[in-house]
């Protein structure tokens, strides 16, 4: 693969891949490593992929596999599959909440969602992949993707509420002179 084509591939995909990696890895350094590792694998193996239209799915799949390879899956991830469906209705104020929160707080809430839901949820919000492509990327059936989206959204809404409350509690109210302690 020529360096020009590789550069174009990086330019087209490294930003959404980083966003996906950040939601999985929960810190910028590991997210950067995951993205770089993914492109390194492409540079050494992926150029054999003739259909460049499939490069996007290949990159997301590889990044996810690299993430899984980097840590042991815990048993909780599986048991979460057995949870009952989450609350599916979105209240109007929950839309407003997301709108008024800053992006880093929203991502922090997303990162607190259980990983089994977080991966499909992030891919869904990136809007680059269809539900079929998400299923292929995560190597799960389509029905499982839909189920995880439903449950993941319910978890996310709760996490957003917690995140906003935590952010508010960090705001220190202006204390009156009378209320201040003397040093």
d(CA 158, CA 134): 24
Contact map string, positions 33 to 62, toward other proteins, x by CB under 8 A:
x-xxx-xx-xx-------------------
65: contact with other proteins by CB under 8 A? no
Min dist CB 147 to other proteins, Å, is 8
d(CA 178, CA 104): 36
94: contact with other proteins by CB under 8 A? yes
Task: Select the residue interacting with other proteins from 55, 68, 80, 98 (CB under 8 A).
Answer: 98
67: contact with other proteins by CB under 8 A? no
d(CA 116, CA 82): 12
Task: Select the residue interacting with other proteins from 49, 126, 140, 161 (CB under 8 A).
Answer: 126
Task: Select the residue interacting with other proteins from 53, 140, 147, 179 (CB under 8 A).
Answer: 147
DSSP 3-state of 97: helix
DSSP 3-state of 6: helix
In the block, tokens 């490593």 appear at: 33
């Amino acid at each position: 693969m020529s360096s020009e084509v590789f550069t174009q591939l990086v330019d087209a995909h490294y930003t959404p891949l980083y966003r996906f990696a950040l939601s999985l890895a929960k810190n910028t350094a590991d997210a950067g490593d995951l993205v770089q590792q993914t492109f390194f694998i492409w540079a050494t193996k992926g150029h054999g992929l003739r259909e460049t239209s499939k490069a996007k799915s290949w990159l997301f799949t590889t990044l996810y596999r690299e993430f899984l390879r980097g840590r042991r899956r815990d048993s909780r991830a599986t048991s979460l599959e057995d949870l009952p469906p989450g609350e599916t209705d979105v209240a109007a104020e929950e839309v407003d909440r997301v709108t008024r929160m800053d992006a880093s707080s929203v991502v922090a809430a997303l990162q607190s969602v259980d990983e089994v839901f977080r991966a499909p949820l992030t891919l869904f919000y990136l809007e680059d992949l269809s539900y079929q492509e998400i299923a292929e990327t995560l190597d799960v059936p389509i029905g499982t993707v839909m189920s995880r989206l439903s449950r993941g959204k319910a978890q996310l809404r709760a996490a957003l509420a917690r995140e906003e409350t935590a952010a508010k509690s960090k705001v220190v109210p202006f204390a009156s002179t009378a209320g201040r302690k003397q040093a």
